[in-house]
Copies of this chain bind each other. A is one copy, B any other.
Amino acid sequence: MVYVLVSTRKRVHTRQLIGNKTLKANLSKFGKSSSLLLSLMLWKSKETEINEKSFMSETITPLKDLLSDSESMRKKFELFVMKVQKDVCHELQKVEDKDNDIDGNHESANFRVDRWTREEGGGGVSCVLEDGRVFEKAGVNISVVYGTLGAPAAQQMKSRGKAFKDNADLKFFACGVSSVIHPRNPNVPTLHFNYRYFEVQDVTNDEKYWWFGGGTDMTPYILDEKDVTHFHQTLKNACDRHNKTYYQKFKKWCDQYFFINHRNECRGIGGLFFDDIDHPNQKEAFDFVKSCADAIIPCYIPVVNNNVNKGYSYSDRQWQLLRRGRYVEFNLIYDRGTKFGLVTPGSRYESILMSLPLVAKWQYCHSPEPGSKEDRLMQVLKKPREWV
């Protein structure tokens, strides 16, 4: 594992967003769902408005190359993940700064930005805010990796439903944005989202495959049914614009995927999860992914704002830390993304493991009292509910 790392500590100031702001002004008359697509279209026509400052760091592929070919999904997707990363970091920083304004004496926590390149091809940008007042650990990563697929990584892909021959000579391209946000206050749920684009080429017979995957899911510690309904409704609206069957299908897939098998419980209250989206065509599949990404901020930030100033007890915090132990169990034992990452040669483990909470606990045989609020959450994790 050899990579070149450039690290900066960065506050996402609004003045760094000049390019996007202009863009947003232009876009305000359009609906939310189409804004990302339009930004990409506008980027092409107004190339001068896109520069390195539009993102959290320099892009992995030179920006000029990314803007040079509007037909390449690889390039479109890299621009897309860079934009999602910037937008989410910007929103989180605003929340972190706002809470800080209450007493105004402290310098608030900022995102650390690490741009790394991979000897084998590609690289990534990791943005991590740690030990903040609102966010105990929040990471938003993008990565663009390509090369030859090793046997263990191919095996991970196979379990996603792609059956490649054992002796196939495979080239791959993977680009994605991935985030886990662990707030400090146990009243505020943890959020996870991940959107990715894959291409695999079987060099033996020159067959090419592409697909999108992704999802957004939430892990509360104290259940607030209104918040959970808002979260699911926002995701459902994003799905419904593309296919009326998607929400039900991907909600169910999410409950099945984020499942801690040995404990027979879900990690959280679900959301969306999908893999292998290669229909009806590349453009429409990408449009759906963009709608999902557009829903990240509206599904989650209101939930943060609703709860961030609620008080909590010592035992609420202890319960949150125990549930974070379960989060670690899921991510290290079952999560295919983590496994795929850790066996991909030259991948950066610090970026993969930023999903782990700052602190977690394991207490032997902990079991919440029947009827307690902890128990009420467990009922939902043991038996996923329909929220909308």
A41 contacts the other chain (CB 8 A): no
How many whole Å from A319's CB to the nearest CB in chain B?
Answer: 14
A359 contacts the other chain (CB 8 A): yes
A342 touches B333 (CB 8 A): yes
Which residues 330-388 in A have Cβ within 8 Å of B in the complex? 332-333, 342, 349-350, 352-354, 356-365
Contact of A364 among B321, B354, B359, B363 (CB under 8 A): B354
B365 touches A350 (CB 8 A): yes
How many whole Å from A131's CB to the nearest CB in chain B?
Answer: 8
How many whole Å from A361's CB to the nearest CB in chain B?
Answer: 5
A365 touches B114 (CB 8 A): yes
Closest residue of B by beta carbon distance from A361? B359
How many whole Å from A340's CB to the nearest CB in chain B?
Answer: 12
A356 touches B362 (CB 8 A): yes
How many whole Å from A124's CB to the nearest CB in chain B?
Answer: 14
A358 touches B363 (CB 8 A): yes
B residues in contact with A261, CB < 8 Å: 342
A317 contacts the other chain (CB 8 A): no
Given contacts A332-B332, A357-B362, A363-B358, contact A349 B263 (CB under 8 A): yes
Closest residue of B by beta carbon distance from A7? B365
B residues in contact with A360, CB < 8 Å: 328, 359-362
A128 contacts the other chain (CB 8 A): yes
Q: State the CA gap A321–B321 with chains docked (Å).
A: 14
A137 contacts the other chain (CB 8 A): yes
A interface residues, how many (CB within 8 angstroms) = 34
Chain B CB within 10 Å, residue with most, of A139, A262, A357, A361: A262
Given contacts A332-B328, A332-B329, A359-B359, contact A364 B262 (CB under 8 A): no
Closest residue of B by beta carbon distance from A114? B365
How many whole Å from A81's CB to the nearest CB in chain B?
Answer: 20
A130 contacts the other chain (CB 8 A): yes
How many whole Å from A184's CB to the nearest CB in chain B?
Answer: 14
A213 contacts the other chain (CB 8 A): no
Closest residue of B by beta carbon distance from A137? B364
B residues in contact with A137, CB < 8 Å: 362, 364
A112 contacts the other chain (CB 8 A): yes
Q: State the CA gap A342–B112 with chains docked (Å).
A: 37
A325 contacts the other chain (CB 8 A): yes
How many whole Å from A299's CB to the nearest CB in chain B?
Answer: 25
A-B contacts besides A357-B362, A358-B363, 15 pairs, CB < 8 Å: A112-B365, A130-B364, A137-B362, A137-B364, A325-B356, A328-B328, A329-B332, A332-B332, A333-B333, A333-B342, A350-B364, A350-B365, A356-B362, A359-B360, A359-B361
The 3 closest A-B pairs by CB, nearest first: A332-B332, A356-B362, A262-B349
A: residues with CB less than 8 A from B are 1, 112, 114, 126, 128, 130, 137, 139, 261-264, 321, 325, 328-329, 332-333, 342, 349-350, 352-354, 356-365
> 30 A–B contact pairs at CB < 8 A?
A1-B264, A112-B364, A112-B365, A128-B364, A128-B365, A137-B362, A139-B364, A261-B342, A321-B359, A325-B356, A328-B328, A328-B332, A328-B360, A329-B332, A329-B353, A332-B332, A332-B333, A333-B333, A333-B342, A350-B364, A354-B364, A356-B362, A357-B362, A358-B361, A358-B362, A359-B359, A359-B360, A359-B361, A360-B360, A360-B362
